A and B are shown apart, each in its own frame.
Chain A
């Protein structure tokens, strides 16, 4: 076959993917980058090149700093396919990987297969599930969702707006909305009483991190402009056909406020479906209460030439994500014989320091913002699985009836079998199973993930071929 095989395929062009593709392309490796968004930047730098939000103070300096990263990527010469989803990956006989992608307008979807000798998976994070009664009501949205609407469409929630949860993202989005002169009536913070004291043993690292000054500034700015209730123990959205009221419990007493929007955030967790479906080993991270692919110091997974870079390999923040993108790129370049180990190690010194710097203070944030048990292990009528509408009670009953792991649970209840393929319920399901069995989620394990990692039509599926669409690749990029 004369099929063209790319050296490196980068999946996701947030901070880690942008950095990785920039390094591999600059080293002369033919690089192709796929991303589901229409413009580069990932969630954190979403719509950076296209945002209609012109006043720079609305999104803040940390957002605009991403411009350097995007410009370097655009200049480096990687082939870039925006608005394109990866739905399948398979190892070929020659050791390279076939990567099945789909993109294009809904009525003219095009499915194609590309090939690459190494993969850098930089799929970032998704919002941690926040299973409370009423969390599926229209008008209840994630903080990341509100941020995406602001960045890409200059839309902000209006009416009576309630934010609830804990963590840096919640405060950052509240701050950005207030900068945009949006209204926020109330912030309900869910950090349990006594948690700050527990987290203080990690304070020394935090004191010398970039998070402290910046984080305090955001929190103070939000507190000046809106009411904050701390130590909220339970939360509920209510309404007919949409959220109309938010109820919250404080010291055992329920309170109620009228609301037109409820914005939820308990932080983010690795988006690991692609790595999991490929067969990379997945492990439980007890500090972050989430699953993540097992990686070495370069982002190398348990599968040769497959790297996971950035927060998709464990949440460490944007500075570390950029650096981990560079490290994965250097390791891939070495694995493909483009640079020797001495060059790889020399070039890795600067990003290694950046990882260390970026991780400083992370232990404090992880300890402080780990959601309280009741928010991770719901009970009663709360939906654990949004797609298949499986309640926490049904999940618990299935575990007691013998479904003692997440895969058995799927069969027994359909929890995880809907279109999101478990992205928004796998963590909750594992936590509930572990709770019922009295073991750690590490002992339960992440449910099996299979290709296709996103729904495709039969026609798209039928386009999957063992050999890549070489001719089409050459049409696109006549190098």
Chain B
């Protein structure tokens, strides 16, 4: 489990995790919000179904993959929460979501 230091006031950012409301803090990554909510395991692997959670927190291990705003396989440690961010833990292989709009 993870605890927030007491002397670090920050604005509350209301998000949902697996449909439940959670008060994250401004500047939290999705991974930080998940850990602060008491979830160490944030997905199961597509291969053996083993539980995994955030490991490196810097975008290289890809173990913190979750669904953010209905887009699967997002690196939770690289996405910052905003009010209303919808976070879902992932189980095994996830269906491909509709392609997000891409400019370029």
Q: Is the CB of B27 within 8 A of A153?
A: yes
Partner of B62, one of A138, A261, A420: A420
Partner of B55, one of A142, A155, A388, A419: A142
Q: Report B17 CB to chain A, min CB distance, Å.
A: 15
Beta-carbon nearest neighbor of A456 in chain B: B102
Q: Is the CB of A111 within 8 A of B35?
A: no
A369 within 8 A of B: no
Partner of B60, one of A54, A141, A242, A271: A271
In chain A, positions 94-149 with a C-beta closer than 8 Å to chain B are: 105-113, 126-127, 136-142, 144-146, 148-149
Q: Is the CB of A83 within 8 A of B80?
A: yes
A260 within 8 A of B: yes
B40 within 8 A of A: yes
In chain A, positions 454-474 with a C-beta closer than 8 Å to chain B are: 455, 457-460, 462-465, 469, 472
Q: Report A125 CB to chain B, min CB distance, Å.
A: 9
Q: Is the CB of A389 within 8 A of B45?
A: yes
Chain B residues whose C-beta falls within 8 Å of the C-beta of A112 in the assembled complex: 103-104
The verdict on A127 contacting B100 (CB below 8 Å), with A105-B69, A387-B62, A419-B65 known, is: no
Bound CA span A263–B31, Å: 16
Q: Report A24 CB to chain B, min CB distance, Å.
A: 25
Q: Is the CB of B3 within 8 A of A156?
A: yes
Q: Report B73 CB to chain A, min CB distance, Å.
A: 7
Q: Report B49 CB to chain A, min CB distance, Å.
A: 10
Bound CA span A53–B7, Å: 8
A157 within 8 A of B: yes
Chain A residues whose C-beta falls within 8 Å of the C-beta of B40 in the assembled complex: 138-139, 242
The verdict on A149 contacting B70 (CB below 8 Å), with A52-B8, A142-B57, A157-B1 known, is: no
Bound CA span A359–B48, Å: 44
Overall SS of chain A's interface: loop
Q: Is the CB of B36 within 8 A of A155?
A: yes
| Count class of interface residues, chain A | 35 or more
Q: Report B102 CB to chain A, min CB distance, Å.
A: 4
Chain A residues whose C-beta falls within 8 Å of the C-beta of B3 in the assembled complex: 155-158, 182
**Residue of B7, B27, B55, B80 with most chain A CB atoms under a 10 A cut-off:** B55
Q: Is the CB of B77 within 8 A of A156?
A: no
Q: Report B16 CB to chain A, min CB distance, Å.
A: 14
A302 within 8 A of B: no
Chain B residues whose C-beta falls within 8 Å of the C-beta of A38 in the assembled complex: 27, 80
Mask of A35-74 contacts with B, CB within 8 angstroms, 1/0: 0111000010001001011110010000000000000000
B50 within 8 A of A: yes
Q: Is the CB of A457 within 8 A of B100?
A: yes
Mask of A384-396 contacts with B, CB within 8 angstroms, 1/0: 0011110000000
Q: Is the CB of A111 within 8 A of B80?
A: no
Q: Report B87 CB to chain A, min CB distance, Å.
A: 10
Bound CA span A55–B5, Å: 10
Q: Report B3 CB to chain A, min CB distance, Å.
A: 4
Q: Is the CB of A106 within 8 A of B74?
A: yes
The verdict on A148 contacting B60 (CB below 8 Å), with A53-B8, A107-B71, A465-B104 known, is: no
Q: List 22 A-B contacts (CB under 8 A).
A: A36-B78, A38-B80, A47-B27, A52-B10, A52-B25, A83-B80, A107-B100, A136-B63, A138-B51, A139-B40, A141-B55, A144-B56, A145-B58, A152-B27, A154-B25, A155-B32, A156-B3, A386-B61, A459-B99, A459-B101, A463-B104, A464-B104
Given contacts A111-B103, A157-B2, list 6 more A-B pairs with CB under 8 A: A106-B79, A144-B58, A148-B77, A153-B29, A156-B5, A420-B61
